[in-house]
Amino acid sequence: EAGVTQFPSHSVIEKGQTVTLRCDPISGHDNLYWYRRVMGKEIKFLLHFVKESKQDESGMPNNRFLAERTGGTYSTLKVQPAELEDSGVYFCASSPRTRGDAFFGQGTRLTVV
Amino acid sequence: DQQVKQNSPSLSVQEGRISILNCDYTNSMFDYFLWYKKYPAEGPTFLISISSIKDKNEDGRFTVFLNKSAKHLSLHIVPSQPGDSAVYFCAASGSASSARQLTFGSGTQLTVLP
């Protein structure tokens, strides 16, 4: 069974540009989460989808971040325009349950220069 | 304001000895606690969990202890092996809709020396 996959694994963009991160969850997992780790600190929650609906987006930093999950399958996280402080590793996770442990992807390392 | 804290950024132990990783939390709404392990360039991998109705959960070499009154949990690895070298994250969640997501600590880098 394929795990959670994220694309790209690395992205280097200039300040002001747009970047779109993609996450393919484990097939059949209704719950999809986005997290971010900045500068080796804690992994912080961004938002939670249940199927195609946003269950909780309380962790989204600001309106430059837009997440979608069309059709309840894969999800995208767009940052527009990117700022220097957006640099970090963005993790996607999926789970068949609303809470409890989740399966994480390998992450996308975003560097804004 | 960090609700889950791992105050030791790093820990080194000798192979075969016990590794003890600690975690403190402040939110009394948390009722489910997890430990994740992370290797470089990989995502976190679930290791072990414990519900607040228990004070201990064991899985092979890994045991998690929960002290609710102190809002403290710990992960014991015995015996430690070089392959256990990784960053260990403590995480917590609650049943309230505002707390179901995982809240992580900042991680502890464990190095097991051969």
What are B72-94's pLDDT values in tens digits?
A: 999 999 999 999 999 999 999 98
Q: Which domain holds residue A50?
A: 5-112
Domains in chain A, number: 1
pLDDT exceeds cutoff 90 at B100: no
Contact call for B32 and A99, based on CB within 8 A: yes
Question: If pLDDT is split at 50, 70 and 90, which confidence band does B13 have?
Answer: very high
- Closest residue in A to B43 (Cα) is A106
Here the tokens at position A17 are: 């540009």
Question: If pLDDT is split at 50, 70 and 90, which confidence band does B97 have?
Answer: low
B41: domain CATH number is: 2.60.40.10
Q: Say how many residues make up chain A.
A: 113
Q: Determine how many CB atoms are found less than 10 A away from the CB of residue B79.
A: 14
Distances from the Cα of B20 to the Cαs of A23, A38, B7, B35, in angstroms?
A: 34, 25, 13, 12
Averaged pLDDT score across all residues of chain B? 94
pLDDT exceeds cutoff 70 at B32: yes
Contact call for B49 and A101, based on CB within 8 A: yes
What span, in angstroms and rounded, lies between the C-alpha atoms of A94 and A92? 7
How would you write the pLDDT of chain A (113 residues) with one tens digit per residue? 689 999 999 999 999 999 999 999 999 999 999 999 998 889 999 999 999 999 999 999 999 999 999 888 999 999 999 999 999 999 999 998 877 789 999 999 999 99
What span, in angstroms and rounded, lies between the C-alpha atoms of A16 and B111? 39
Question: If pLDDT is split at 50, 70 and 90, which confidence band does B16 have?
Answer: very high
According to the model, what pLDDT value does residue A1 have?
Answer: 64
- Among the partner-chain residues A43, A48, A107, the one whose CB lies closest to the CB of B89 is A43
Q: Which residue has the tokens 């997992």?
A: A29
A55: domain CATH number is: 2.60.40.10
Q: Which domain holds residue B42?
A: 4-96+103-113
Domains in chain B, number: 1
- The whole-angstrom distance between A30's CA and the closest CA on chain B is 14
Give pLDDT tens digits for B42-53.
999 999 999 999
